[in-house]
Each structure stands twice: as C-alpha cells, then as structure tokens.
Structure 1
Amino acid sequence: MIASGMSYPHPVLGNGDDIVSVEELHLPIVVCNIFDEAINLSIKGLETRHKQIDALVKSGDAAWLIRVSCPRTYYRESFSCADVDWQHKFEGPDFVGKVKIEISVVAKKRIEGYSPDDMHSDYEGARFDINAGELIAIVPSYSFIADKDFDALKAPVSSLVKIEEGVDDVGPFKCSYEDDLIIVALSKTDWSEYAAIRDRVPTTLHTSIVLPVLVGALVYLDKNGTGSTWSDRLEEIVSRLELSLDDPLKTAQEILSNPLQRAFAEVNKELDKRSI
C-alpha cells in the first residue's frame, strides 16, 4: 500500500499537503465486474487535474502506474498507462479474497528542474531533479473482494461466522478467529437447543451469539489487520458502510442493523402468538 504522509525528497501530489491544490484531489473511478472465470477491472478518470503533472503524462515524461496485488494468491502485477481510461481482464483463479489496487503517477525519464505549482510554502523557490521511476502523484488505494457471491452491503452473517457443535458437553461457547471463517463452537447441550430455535428466532440469536462475536472480530481486525476470508470481508463491509473500528460495539450493531431492537420485536411476536 502506498501510504500518505510519507517523506519524499520532492513534493508528491496526494501526499499530505506537499502540493496544496485549490480543488480537492481528483480520484479515479474504479469498477470491478466479477464473473466465474474472469474479473474485469476498469479505471476511469486517470487525471490529476494538476496542469503540469497531467502535461508530463501527456508528453510521455510520466505515466500512470497501476499495481494490482492479491496477498492470498501472491499475485502482483504492475501496469503502465498514459490514457484517461484503463481496463484489463484478469483470470478468475488469480484472485482469492482481497485484491488491492494502488494507483500513482511516476516519472518515465529523468525530469530536471521540477517545480510544480501550488507547492507547500516549505518548498518555496525549490527545484528538483526527478529520476525515472520516482513518484510524482498518488491517490488512496482501493480494494475489492474477489467473490462474485459476496455483496458487502448485503452480506449475510454466514459469510463471516460459522456456528457448529463443539466437543464440550456443557459450558460457554468458544470462538476462534484463526480460520477463514470465524468459528463459534457451542457445547453439545447448547447446540441441541440452538438447532431447535435457529430458524424460529434468528434475530434473537444474532443478539446473544453473533453480536458479541462480531464485536470481538472488529477488535481483532483493528489489532491484526486482514489476511483471512472473514477479515477481508469484514473490512470491506466496514469500508462500504463507512463505519469505524474505533467503537466496535456500535459498529457491530450497525452491521447487524440494530439487532437488539429487532430481537425485542421478534420475542414480542412469539409471546403474542402464545397468548392467543
């Protein structure tokens, strides 16, 4: 991942306040279409809207660099582009889980006396010699989940959590975050009870089992980052819903669409049936 706020020997557009533009940094539009055997990735709007930097790309002195990587398959490839729009078709098996996309502008040849407009006052009057391959501009990184059946905005709990029968006869449930899915192991006694009601009061079960497990998952994600199927998916859900890891209890409830309120309604509905 190309980090913002790093220290470079010359001003880089998009890196903190190295270059202070009047308008907000222009961001390209990344669109991913996932099929059974292929993934089509397109990026539209590859322009910084900084006249000097865009002119360097147009002249061939610089180019857009698109890095695509998938940690779980070790796929990593870089593509150079001088056009405003770019697209590429990838083989489906190349990607599993999270795919990262890093977009930047790099020099293709040595650029002498580089002094872009709107530089921070700390650079006032300075000129720089940029070597081939050095960064000129960066934009925030993107990511997506390479799973055609996964929708971050409609993801079911089963895409993150698997509840199964454990080895203990009785006792509290156990939770493991070390597998591709979060494994919740119920005691044999609790499992038999769970099996009898999971289809009748699913929201109540979200509150009593999935909610605390999801809180723990958010804490784990904040401390350890991604690397498993569930953590990649959970990070995508948090990002797409524009939530935060700072308050895991609140975020977990947002993801589960206020499960306590829905559990109250569900329990009252069941009690109403019995009173008839």
Structure 2
Amino acid sequence: MKIRQISYPHPVLASFNDDYTRSSFEASIDYKIGETSTAFKIAYDLKNTGIENLITTGQAIFVTHLECDSSMYREAFSSNSTSSEFEVLNRKLSKQVDVTFMIVAVAEIENYKNDLLHEDYEESLIEFNKGTFIAVHQGGTLILEKDPLVPAKSIFNIIPSDEKDAPKYSVGLNDDTISILLPRATYNTIEELSRREEVNPLLISMYYLPALMEALIIVVEEDSKSEDHFEDFEWYKSLELHLQRMNLSDSKVEELGLASISNMVLAEVFDKAIDSLSSIYL
C-alpha cells in the first residue's frame, strides 16, 4: 500500500496538505535481521492533541503497513502506543520492502472536533467511519541487507503489464531481481489466489521455475560477450553463490542439466508446493 497525495473527502493529517495547523505525524522504523526472522521497531511522533485523544480513548490506532511486491507479502501491524515492535519471517521478505504509516479509526466517530483543524472545516460536520485514515505518513522503501545467499524465491518479482496484447509470460533479467511480467488480468487473479496460504507455494513454483532456468543459462554459461553485465546484479550474485554452496562444478552442471539444478535451487519452494497439494487432496 502506497499513500497517494490526493484530496481526501475528510480532513487527514499529512505532510502534503494543510488540513491541520501546527500539527504533524511522523514515524521511523529500525530493523534487525535474524537467522529466521526480521525484528522491526517503530516510533510514531504525533503532534496533535485532538488525534492523540482519539488514540487514548480507543477510537483510533497507529498502523504500520509492510508490502513486498516480489514475495506478494503484505501485512498491517497496529498499536495504541507511540512505539511498536514485531517480527516477520525472513522467507516472507525479499530485499525491498515498502513501508507506510497511518492512524486509522477503529470505531465510528461522529461530530468530530479538533482545535487545530484548518478554518475551512469550521462549519463542517465531520464523521469518520471505521477504517478511515485520520493521519498518514508516506514512509518509504527499506532495502534489507541480508546474507548474499538469500532464499531463492526472494530474487523474483512478479509484476503486471498493462500493454495491449501483452505476452502471457515474459522474463526481465536487467534488474536486481528476476522480473516475471504477466498480463494485468492474470496478475490480479494470482494476487488474489496467493492470499490463500495453501495455494501460494503452488503459484510460486509454477511461475518461478521457467524464469529461473532462463537466468541459470546466463549464470552457468558466463556469457562474456553480453553487453548487459548481469554479473553486477544481485540475482546473478545470489544464484552464483547458490551454485558454489552446492559444489556444482561446470562438469556437474552439464551432467545434471538446468532442470535438475533449478529444482535444487528451489527445493524449499517445491517441498512446500508438495505439502500444499497434500493438504488439499490427501
């Protein structure tokens, strides 16, 4: 979720508008990557007594929203305190995570008054429905510095294409991630399906495997004539390290073939896909 600089139909405390005077809402985030999970610490800085009172009385709450496009992970963490701590499993996160902060109504708020509202709202009858944004902070993008040997699925990024007659499936290898481009309708469908825990591993294995095989061709052949200099990208370095950790020499690579190697790199993904199928049909 990315906060857009738009005009809301109700007052919202934000840096990009003047709905309030002498008020501000800021937030900061720190993180520490552990062996299996990443710990996040959030500090909220709110300067508006009226909104503070909404939180104190349980009518509103602080929210931090994390979103990782490449792993299709998104989750909101709420708190009624100016500080918050939570952990997320590393397998759910890739290197890039988008973060936004909000104050959200958790109850119906009628006849809202605030001494610091802009004068334009002096004669307005203001109501907040449950789930309405009261304050927003645009946050930003975290670049999580992990061990170079990141989980294989973290180097992929599934993105929609809005081009007319877009290919059913195409791969882009000119970024820090291996981009899988799908028609918008297909993307929207798998995004919805991925919300089901038992289906997500199946989708990942289905879409990642052909893209990985295409990327491995470049890594294994070490095409020095390429003008794209793929060796400078994170996905290339990560795959190269995966092969080194598996002690795969050039002769072994040729013997096994790319299909077998791809299955070895994505072993965890395929194991989860089998478990998912078992949970559905057995």
TM-score normalised by the chain length of structure 2: 0.52
Aligned position for 1:9: 9
SS in 2 for 1:126: coil
Cα deviation 1:206-244 (Å, max 9, x = unaligned):
xxx98xxx9xx9xxxxxxxxxx969xxxxxxxxxxxxxx
| 8 A Cα contact 2:14 2:25, kept in partner | no
Superposed, which structure 2 residues align to 1:186-225 within 5 Å?
A: 186-187=224-225
The partner residue of 1:93 within 91, 94, 117 is 91
Distance 1:58 1:80, change over 3 A: same
SS in 2 for 1:48: strand
Mind listing any 5+ residue stretches in structure 1 that lack a counterpart? 151-174, 191-208, 218-227, 231-276
Distance 1:185 1:178, change over 3 A: farther
The partner residue of 1:74 within 66, 72, 75 is 72
Distance 1:118 1:16, change over 3 A: farther
TM-score normalised by the chain length of structure 1: 0.53
Q: How much does 1:70 deviate?
A: 1.3
Superposed, which structure 2 residues align to 1:233-244 within 5 Å?
A: none
SS in 1 for 2:31: strand
Calculate the aligned-residue CA RMSD, in Å.
3.5
SS in 1 for 2:127: strand
Q: How much does 1:9 deviate?
A: 1.4
1: distance between equivalents of 2:2 and 2:113? 23
Aligned position for 1:142: 140
| 8 A Cα contact 1:15 1:137, kept in partner | no
Aligned position for 1:132: 130
SS in 1 for 2:54: helix
Distance 1:229 1:57, change over 3 A: farther
2: distance between equivalents of 1:143 and 1:185? 33
| 8 A Cα contact 2:48 2:116, kept in partner | no
The partner residue of 1:177 within 174, 189, 192 is 174
Mind listing any 5+ residue stretches in structure 2 that lack a counterpart? 149-171, 179-214, 237-282
| 8 A Cα contact 2:3 2:137, kept in partner | no
Distance 1:176 1:68, change over 3 A: closer
Q: How much does 1:95 deviate?
A: 0.7
Q: How much does 1:179 deviate?
A: 6.7
Distance 1:20 1:185, change over 3 A: farther
Aligned position for 1:41: 40
Larger Rg: 1
SS in 1 for 2:103: strand
Aligned position for 1:51: 49
Tell me which amino acid in the other structure corresponds to 2:130: A
Aligned position for 1:22: 22
